[in-house]
Each structure stands twice: as structure tokens, then as C-alpha cells.
Structure 1
Amino acid sequence: MTRVLIAGSGAREHALAWGCTRHPGVELVCAPGNGGTAAIAENVPVAADDVPGILRLATERAVDLVVIGPDAAIAAGLADGCAERGIAVFGPTRAAGRVESSKEFTKQLADATGIPTAGWRAGGVEDREALHRFAAELGACVVKADGLALGKGVTVCDDATQASAAIDACLLEGRFGDAGARVVVEERMSGREVSVFALSDGAAVRVLAAACDYKRIHDGDRGPNTGGMGAYAPPAGLDPAALLDDALRRFVEPCVAALRERGTPYRGCLYAGLMLTDSGPRLLEFNARLGDPETQAVLPLLDEDLLDLLTACARGGLAPGVARTLPGAAVGVVAAAAGYPGAVRGGDAISGLDRLDPGALLFHAGTRRDAGGTVRTAGGRVLTVVGRGDTLAAARSAAYANLERVRFDGMQHRSDIADPTGAQVAAAPGLLSR
């Protein structure tokens, strides 16, 4: 029996738990988990970033592996605490996780290692005027809170006026608290965005997959940023082998090597957000964990034992290269509560969960089961419905057909995930499909 503790409560963690159940003889604990993980694991009400609480739970249950889902748990030092107690852990230490928790650190690392990225400048309130001038020089630019802001700390600006407002919102108004005490202002790149997920044991790197996600709340990429409203894999219109090979050589391996040389080896998932520009791929960001909702689209296509991969990252011995994937495509569409990404209400009953097709997948996020067994809303992003198919069109059709069977008061979702007419499905220069 292999005992695994998954720290987190989102659809990503439900997908990880689902993936681990395919390994023979596994016993799962989720902390705190959600209404979906309750069906396949024991949920324990301990927050993922409650490091002492997670460590106590891991010790009490004699777990063989701790799997860290959210960035907050990484920034809180959960992996450090596990390492100090000799508990195998999938997820980077706080120091290695700075590739996500500090945008400025990532920019410095990229420049030092020759990783292609946008021109940039960073600073705090004392540098406010210089940042305004730099934004004016750029015109169209991007303003990023340096720290973790739940995926909402990025403002894409069309001109210097918008950029100045975004800078001041961070530095003067405290919109993102400590996360916005410093900001990065960078050149606004044009092209198509893709996300590449790679695993590392601190030395070897194994590329897992690539995906495309949809960050804005409304169709056509309108409205405020969210944690993600949908994703699909693999990216359409691209040569997947060329994309993954390029990402491995030019982005992921240099980052992992640099962190190892600095004495902070990276163990876990390194997520490279890339912009495919006319002059080639350039780095948008690194994240120190699997993406949400991309994980929900990527894991159903994995043709390897997920738990074996996670364990190899934690203990060493990961085979380098590119992971095997199944043919076809997967599309995940997020259903969110009314008001998201702002204030949302919880407690609404969710119906239709038992009406999905056998081949469809449903990953819970902001859900809970009440005393009577009814699943109710309990967060902003409520669930992800995933459709699979031989083609992207078939997977998209399956996802939306099944999503339409799910209902709760105030439910909202995008209708253009994996839309063939959208920018995220268009071909990109230099990486065209065969």
C-alpha cells in the first residue's frame, strides 16, 4: 500500500488524486480536498499552506509521498518542512519556488542564463517615477505584481496611462498587498500563448505536455483575469515535438541547471508560460506547480503512471526526455460561481453531476458535500468538465455537451474554449503542424 497526501482543494488536486488512483494499491488523503476528492480519498480539514498541520497529518498517517498543489503552500515552505522531516515531497522548496513567487527573480534568472524574454524593469514605491517613464517609453506594456496574487496580478496595458494606473494600484493603493510592493514592467509581446509542463528531480527533466489556457472571465478574452476559465491539450496548429523539444532545451533545462548550480535544486513541476512570437518563443513566466485548469486537460492524456513520475521527482531517478501521451485531445471548461472573479456566494446546490457521459471527466474545485450528501458550491471556480476525443473538435463537443447537463444558481462559463476561430487555436510561425 502506498499512502499519498495531496495538499490543496482545487480541480487540479482532484485531477492529481484521480491520476494517482490509477496506480495499484494507493491510499489517498487530501488536505483539505473538496466535494469531488471526498469520493476517492479521505478529506482532512487542514489548509494546504498550514505547514505544521500538513506535517502533523503526514506523520500521523505515515504517508509515503506529499504532493503539493497550490503555489501558496510552496511559498509557505511546505516542501522545506517535509525535507527536514525526511518526508518525500513532490514540489519545490521555498527558495527554488521563487521562480514563481518573485517575477523579478525570474527575470534576473532569465537574463543570467540567456532564456529569451521581454525587456523589463522592476522596482518599488521609491522607483515609481522611473517605472512610469519606462512604461511611457514602451507604450503598450504589461505590469505585474512581483509576488503571488492568485493569478490576478497581471495587467495588460495599451498605453502609458493604463500602465501608470496599474503601477500606482500596486505601489500606492496596495491592491495586491505585499505581493504588489514591488512590480515588474515589461514589454508587451505579441503572438500566441502556450504552457509547457515539465517534471524534474533536481537534475533530470521530463517534459510532460503542452496546453493552452484561457485566463479572462468572458468570451473573446474580455473582462478581468481569473485563475483560468478553461484549457485544452495538446496545442492545435503546432508541431508538438518541435514545441516540446524547443521548450526543453531553451527554457526548462537552463532554468533547472541554474537553480541546481545555485544550491536550490528544483524538484517538482516547472511550468513555462511561453509567447510564440514572430522571432521565436519567449518566456512570459515560470510557475512552480502544475497549472489549473491545464492539469485537468493534460493528465487525461498521460500514458504513463502518474504516481511513479511524482515519486521519481521526489526521490530521484526521473528518466529524462518527453513523457508518453495518448493520441487525441482533451478540453476542459470551468464552471464558475456568479460574481467570480469578485465576491461570490456559496451554498448553491449543484445538479446533473450524475448525468455525464461515461467518457467525460468532472473535476471539483469550489464544492463541498453537505450532511445529506448534496454537492454545493463553495468557491469561485466550482468545477471543470473535461471532454476527450480523437480530434480537438470532438473533445470540445464532448466537454460542452456534458457541461450543459450541470446546473447551479448563477453558473457562468466561457463558450469559446478551444474554439477553432480563436487566437489560442491559430497556427504559430516556426512551429506549424506537419
Structure 2
Amino acid sequence: MKILIVGGGGREHALAWKIHQNREVSAIYAAPGNAGIAEIAECIPLQVSDIAGLSRLAREKGIDLTIVGPELPLSLGIVDEFEAQGLAVFGPCREAVAIESSKVFAKRLMKENNIPTASYEVFSDPQKAKEYVRHIGRPLVIKADGLAAGKGVVICQQPEEALKAIELIMVKQVFGQAGKQIIIEEYLSGEEASFLAFTDGQSIIPLASSQDHKTVYDGDQGPNTGGMGAYSPAPVISEQMQQKIMAKIMAPAIEGLARLGITYRGVLYAGLMIQDNEPMLLEFNARFGDPETQAIIRRLETDLVLVIQKVLQTRLHEVRLDWRQEASTCVVLASAGYPDSYQSGKEIIGLEEAARVDGVVLFHAGTTRQEGRLLTSGGRVLGVSALGETIAESISRAYAAVAKISFEGMHYRKDIGRRALSRALPKSKVA
């Protein structure tokens, strides 16, 4: 079997790492891939937005299954194009991806299906948006409607911050067309968690719980990023909480889309706020999370290719996901300046020594090789993942490996998993 992975980040390296363990897979291709993926796959220099080029590659290489990582090609209709050509591809169709590519569509879906979420208003006129902010006065969240690489959400404690966010998104258009419309919603407090599930449009099977760390600095300070680290499981997601999430959020979303004539096949990601022991939905994503995947995939014992095949065959009900009992932590190492502008081409050293730490696997994101040297080539550079008997041990191992890696300007959060430590489950409860 030949597999094509679309993407070149840490998530895609984690997927390739897992798929590489399947003995029936004879070849893995990645477009564009990265230096880490290149160790187990053939990387093809195609951009994820080049749908025609990717479909041509799949035909030329005789690809049996394509797995799409990032949201951009999904939003451009890569699944629709591949299916029209008879190519097997994993991910939701373009209509279904609107739950991520349009926050306005997603909020309306939530409202129509009684999915618990923050109250909100939609604006296409920046002046009216500013008037609303001045009138409300309390902490708010400003969201660009379209895709913004995980950075289009601004939490505003003061009206001045909200007014600045509106100016940047709608007037200065820092996210381009993604900011033509915005959502202004109430600020929710509590503890965040990430909840991912496989679905074939009929059955829904949750993955292990996880918690992302979105902001760039320790203590959840600074601007949002694509994600600075994650761990699994998230103790805040108890078995009872999982049942609530499935009943109140995941099932209503899939059923609501079906009523619109949209079959959702792929991974459905719910970004949650747990407030007063109830799940509130912050956002939907239409794909594997990054860096949640780097933490979750280390614990998955079930063959990933088998699960994906069952999704495509609408036979997901036949699948049972088995998980390692260990906990997993992933710490992201980023370039100086990220999530804003950053420099690339910095030499990375210490990876061989870091990889020798017990339980550690290194997932590459923004890396490239030039003349035998490993160099940075992105904002998020590496994901240092580690398994441990407990969450505390997995955190300790991850940071022990981080300490052995260096490149100019390297920065990372030093508090990944801190919330889990105060809630840490006994080993027998890790799930």
C-alpha cells in the first residue's frame, strides 16, 4: 500500500511515524514534508494549496490512500477533487470543512442544534463592531471568520484591546479575506481541552483526550499561536465529561450537518471550555489538531490506516481504539519572534542526544536539511514528545530532552502540562 500525506508540519510527521509502523505500507510520500518526515518517507516539493499537482502526484505514484493534514487544502476542496478522480482520500469534503473555514457557519450550526457555546454577534462593518464593543464593555473574544492559521482569535479583557483587534482584522486586514467578517462573542472562563473524534458520518469514536496550550508565553500569556504544546490524557475530561461532550456537542454537530445534506467523514475536533463541570464549545476544526496529534498518536495502539479505511467504508462501528496506559506530553520549540515574523536558517543541534532520553520521540515541523546541516525553516520547529508512567514523568522526560536541543533564538513554554499536575489521575485511570 502506498500512502500520501499532505502537509509538512509536526502533525504530519506524527501521522507518518504511526503509519510507518504498518507492515502493509510499502511506501510513504509527503508533500511537502520536512527533514524529519524525509527519514521515513519520500518528500515531494509541492505546496498544500496545489490541488491539481497533488492529484497528479497521487495518480503518477499509484497512491492507494491520501491523508490530508492541514485545513487549507481541505478548505480548497482537495477531498472533492480526489474523490471526483476516484482517488481514496481521508478528510471532510469542502462543504463540511465550513465548520472550520467559516466561524459564522459554525456558530449558526451550533445555535440551530442547541450546542452549548458562547453568545455572539456577527459583524461585517468595523464601525458597527466598534460601537458594539463600546456598548458591551465587558471581556470579549474577537474572531476572524475565515482561516488564520490558528491565530485569528483575540481574547480581549478591556474594550481598548477589542477595538485594536477589530482595527487589525477588519481595517488593516492582517488575515486578508479571512477578516471580512468577524464574530464578537462573550468571554468564557474555565479550563480548556481538545476533544477529537473519528466519524464516518454515522458512527463517532472519540480519541484520547488532550489539552493544547495556545498562547506563546508561560501562564497562558501573550498572543495565540498554532499551539505551543499538548498533553494526553487531559484529567479535566472524565468519563462522565466525555459522555456529555459526545451527547451535547459531537453527535448534534454530525446530525446537524446531515440535515443540511452534508456527510462529515474524517476527524472532528472540538475546542472546549469546561465551565462549572459542563462542556462549552469554543470552536470546531475539521482535521487532526497540531500539536495535539503529536501527544495523542504516541498513545494509540490501534493501526491508524485500518481506522481510516473503516471511515472511508462507512464501517467505523467495527473499530475499537486501544490506548497505551502511559501519559504523553509534547513541547513545541519555536523560532524567535513566532507567532509574528521570524528568521529561518538557524542550525539545530542536539537532536541525537535528545532522542536517547527514555520515552522520547522528536517530531519535526519547520526543519530542512542543507549540505548535511539541519536548519530551521518555520515558526514552530520541533515537537519534543515523551511517554511516561504518569503525566508528571512524561513532562519531566520531555523537558529533559528539550534541554539537550538548541538553535539560535529557540523559545518554548516551560509550563506545558501544569494544569494536569494539579488534577493528575492515578495510573489505572489514564485513558
In the superposition, the TM-score normalised over structure 1's length comes to 0.94
2:213 corresponds to? 214
The one-letter code of the counterpart of 2:34 is N
| Alpha-carbon distance in 1 for matches of 2:59, 2:36 | 25
Q: Any conservation in 2 of the 1:115–1:251 contact (CA below 8 Å)?
A: yes
Q: Any conservation in 2 of the 1:136–1:160 contact (CA below 8 Å)?
A: no
Matches within 5 A, 1:6-405: 6-26=5-25, 27-125=27-125, 128-129=127-128, 132-133=131-132, 136-137=135-136, 139-239=138-238, 241-278=239-276, 280-319=278-317, 323-355=321-353, 356-357=355-356, 359-372=359-372, 374-405=373-404
| Alpha-carbon distance in 2 for matches of 1:23, 1:80 | 27
Q: Any conservation in 2 of the 1:157–1:163 contact (CA below 8 Å)?
A: yes
| Alpha-carbon distance in 2 for matches of 1:143, 1:132 | 14
SS in 2 for 1:114: coil
Instruction: Indicate the RMSD between aligned Cα atoms, in angstroms.
Output: 1.8
| Alpha-carbon distance in 1 for matches of 2:68, 2:32 | 12
| Alpha-carbon distance in 2 for matches of 1:99, 1:361 | 32
Higher mean displacement: 360-369 or 401-410: 401-410
Residue 315 of structure 1: how far off its partner (Å): 3.0
Q: Any conservation in 1 of the 2:391–2:421 contact (CA below 8 Å)?
A: no
Higher mean displacement: 348-357 or 313-322: 313-322
SS in 2 for 1:281: strand
Q: Any conservation in 1 of the 2:31–2:46 contact (CA below 8 Å)?
A: yes
| Alpha-carbon distance in 1 for matches of 2:202, 2:130 | 37
Residue 170 of structure 1: how far off its partner (Å): 1.7
SS in 1 for 2:316: coil
| Alpha-carbon distance in 1 for matches of 2:295, 2:122 | 34
Identity, % of aligned pairs? Answer: 41
The one-letter code of the counterpart of 2:47 is A
Q: Residue by residue, what CA displacement relative to the aligned partner does 1:340-392 show, whole Å, maximum 9, x if unpaired?
A: 111111111111111122521100000011233x2111111001000111100
Q: Any conservation in 2 of the 1:208–1:322 contact (CA below 8 Å)?
A: no
| Alpha-carbon distance in 1 for matches of 2:127, 2:100 | 23
| Alpha-carbon distance in 1 for matches of 2:334, 2:241 | 31
| Alpha-carbon distance in 2 for matches of 1:297, 1:39 | 20
| Alpha-carbon distance in 2 for matches of 1:377, 1:88 | 33
Structure 2 gaps, min length 5? none
CA 1:70–1:159 in structure 2 vs 1: closer, same or farther (change >3 Å)? same
Structure 1 gaps, min length 5? none
SS in 1 for 2:282: strand
| Alpha-carbon distance in 2 for matches of 1:38, 1:318 | 31
Q: Residue by residue, what CA displacement relative to the aligned partner does 1:196-217 show, whole Å, maximum 9, x if unpaired?
A: 0001112211111211011111
The one-letter code of the counterpart of 2:307 is L
Q: How many residues align?
A: 423
| Alpha-carbon distance in 1 for matches of 2:383, 2:36 | 11
Q: Residue by residue, what CA displacement relative to the aligned partner does 1:230-289 show, whole Å, maximum 9, x if unpaired?
A: 0000013542x2232222111111111111221221111100011101161110000001
| Alpha-carbon distance in 2 for matches of 1:377, 1:324 | 35
CA 1:426–1:62 in structure 2 vs 1: closer, same or farther (change >3 Å)? same
Which runs of 4 or more aligned residues in structure 1 lie more than 6 Å from their structure 2 counterparts after TM superposition?
none
Q: Residue by residue, what CA displacement relative to the aligned partner does 1:153-196 show, whole Å, maximum 9, x if unpaired?
A: 11101122222221222222212110000000001011000000
| Alpha-carbon distance in 2 for matches of 1:76, 1:90 | 14
Q: Any conservation in 2 of the 1:203–1:260 contact (CA below 8 Å)?
A: no
Q: Any conservation in 1 of the 2:28–2:40 contact (CA below 8 Å)?
A: yes
| Alpha-carbon distance in 2 for matches of 1:426, 1:121 | 36
CA 1:238–1:197 in structure 2 vs 1: closer, same or farther (change >3 Å)? closer
| Alpha-carbon distance in 2 for matches of 1:237, 1:75 | 31
Q: Any conservation in 1 of the 2:359–2:388 contact (CA below 8 Å)?
A: no
The one-letter code of the counterpart of 2:62 is A
